[in-house]
Structure 1
Amino acid sequence: MPDPGRPDVVGFALTYGSGTAIERHTHPAHQLIHAISGAMRVVASGGIWFLPLGRALWIPAELDHEIRCDGEVGMRTAYLSRACPEVFADVRMIAVSPLLREVLVRLAEGDGGGLRPALLEILLQEIAGAGLPPLRLPYPADPRIAELVAHLNAAPADRTPLAQWARRLGFSERSLIRAVRAQTGMTFRDLRRYSRVMAAIERLCEGRPVTMVAYDVGFETPSAFAHAFRTVTGKTPRQFVAEARESF
């Protein structure tokens, strides 16, 4: 860990197998996590944050979080002391520029004989100017809605209708509609669409063809997939992947 008494940073390179679960934990330092291969899901601050290639997540010190790995993940992570100035007090998604990626890689390889102060300054500047809209699903407090969200994440192609979910979870249809809205801020349809797009992003960043991914995550046509993807991310699938890979 970095020296807690002054602005400092240390980096690590870690590799995790597909499906690895890093259980809920905290760190005494701030953390920036990024994958140079694979994708991660981070549960923190009442949400599920999706981290494909090209994105990093800022996690403040002492914040509970857990991580799930989709595919083999090559993680590059930096820990920043709490003495660092002007850092975020909440979880943030960060765009990983080529420069930020190289700083993270260099920190993970060692400080190169006293480069840590300079690398820390660059890192802080990159973080401050690289915020992104989050790829995030709310993590419901109601265990029944949490079960629904977890299933949609694990099996995005499942077409189980709302009425069947209501029976399974012990709701009337109207009560389930209200509960999903209250717990996630989304309709059931939007929740399913968002879950499918998040699953699609992970597959696209693994290099799978767009058409194959569209069907894998439950869309009936590639055009329906493209429309949903643009609605959620503001970009086409190919645009999103191209931008993610620009930093590699």
Structure 2
Amino acid sequence: MGTVGQFLSLNRHAEISPVEAVDRPLVGYAEDYPAYLFAEAHAHSKAQLIYAGTGVMHVETARSSYIIPPSTALVMPADLVHTIYMDGPVAIRTLFLKQSAAPMFFCDCRVNTVTPLLRELILAAFAEPLEWDVKGRGYYITSLALDEIEKSSFLPLEIPLPKSRQLRCVTDALIRTPADPRSLEDWAEVAGASARTLARLFQRETGMSFRQWRQQVRLTTALRNLSLGESSASAAEVAGFESLPAFGAAFRQFFGITPGQARSEKPLS
């Protein structure tokens, strides 16, 4: 994953500071970014619902990596250090939330579906002034948005990242090339450890077996490619599936929608 610059300059921080400082339970923030920019590790004093109206974001914390296509949003607690990579041009539409406004939502990161109603509420939120009338339209937008976030379903788009050097050399390689067909025994030679040791590390550090972790990486990568307009056949190939029906069945079981439905998701305008 190459980068060509950084977008969180001092000027960008200055733009976001009033959003974080305003005394409102929810405030919208919108910014469009060109392709392949990278935000270095940073954190915000408010919780966020990070949404890409168009484009795909890669968000990484110390513990996990997330792929966020336009049909989803990442709920992130306050003060959590993270990086963001823009996979193509990205229109970020973020809701900044006071932790006290919805403490039950923000104990940890999670990927939520973005319903058509939540999509419209995000649009409405960043159209409001920062210090919106606490008895007016902003109050109702906030109340409904928080309720919609709470009711939205979760998606398994989190990729747990291990800490051990032996395992990280394997997981980094598979994130770069999910279709790599090598077995755990093959990877053991690369990592300089036994297959049994790698299997134990996968379970201990990611909470998944090697096969489960690799399948999650493959399918989330396929979702990313579909969201960028690639065909189901191309997404299946990237994900290491030789059979299109097998890919479709696995994708539907994992996400609850077909590859065609994922590809046709309408971005926020």
**Residue of structure 2 in register with 1:104 after alignment:** 122
Stretches of structure 1 that go unaligned for 5 or more consecutive residues are none
Q: Distance in 2 between matches of 1:12 and 1:3?
A: 10
SS at match of 2:99: coil
Q: Distance in 1 between matches of 2:193 and 2:139?
A: 56
Q: Is the 8 A contact 1:35 1:73 kept in 2?
A: yes
SS at match of 2:219: helix
- Structure 2 counterpart of 1:57, from 74, 79, 82: 74
Counterpart of 2:44, as a letter, is H
Q: Does 1:37 align with 2:58?
A: no
Counterpart of 2:165, as a letter, is P
CA distance 1:108–1:150, shift in 2 (3 Å): farther
Counterpart of 2:201, as a letter, is A
Q: Is the 8 A contact 2:61 2:83 kept in 1?
A: yes
Question: CA offsets per residue over residues 32-64 of structure 1, 9 Å max, x none?
Answer: 110111112222372222211211111111122
Counterpart of 1:104, as a letter, is I
Write out the 4+ residue segments of structure 1 that deviate beyond 4 Å after TM superposition: 2-6
CA distance 1:38–1:8, shift in 2 (3 Å): same
Q: Distance in 2 between matches of 1:219 and 1:110?
A: 46
Normalising by structure 2, what TM-score? 0.80
**Residue of structure 1 in register with 2:26 after alignment:** 9
Normalising by structure 1, what TM-score? 0.86
SS at match of 1:61: coil
Q: Is the 8 A contact 1:45 1:91 kept in 2?
A: no
- Structure 1 counterpart of 2:41, from 24, 38, 41: 24
- Structure 1 counterpart of 2:98, from 74, 81, 106: 81
- Structure 1 counterpart of 2:158, from 126, 136, 139: 136
Aligned Cα root-mean-square deviation (Å): 2.6
* Deviation at residue 2 of structure 1 after TM alignment: 4.3
Stretches of structure 2 that go unaligned for 5 or more consecutive residues are 1-17
**Residue of structure 2 in register with 1:157 after alignment:** 179
**Residue of structure 1 in register with 2:210 after alignment:** 188
Q: Is the 8 A contact 2:19 2:29 kept in 1?
A: no
Q: How many residues align?
A: 247
Q: Distance in 2 between matches of 1:85 and 1:184?
A: 28
* Deviation at residue 246 of structure 1 after TM alignment: 8.6
Q: Distance in 1 between matches of 2:195 and 2:112?
A: 38
CA distance 1:97–1:141, shift in 2 (3 Å): same
**Residue of structure 2 in register with 1:126 after alignment:** 148
Question: CA offsets per residue over residues 115-145 of structure 1, 9 Å max, x none?
Answer: 4333222221211211313311111121332
Q: Does 1:207 align with 2:225?
A: no
SS at match of 1:140: coil
What percentage of aligned pairs have identical amino acids?
32
Q: Distance in 1 between matches of 2:94 and 2:196?
A: 44
- Structure 1 counterpart of 2:188, from 166, 186, 194: 166
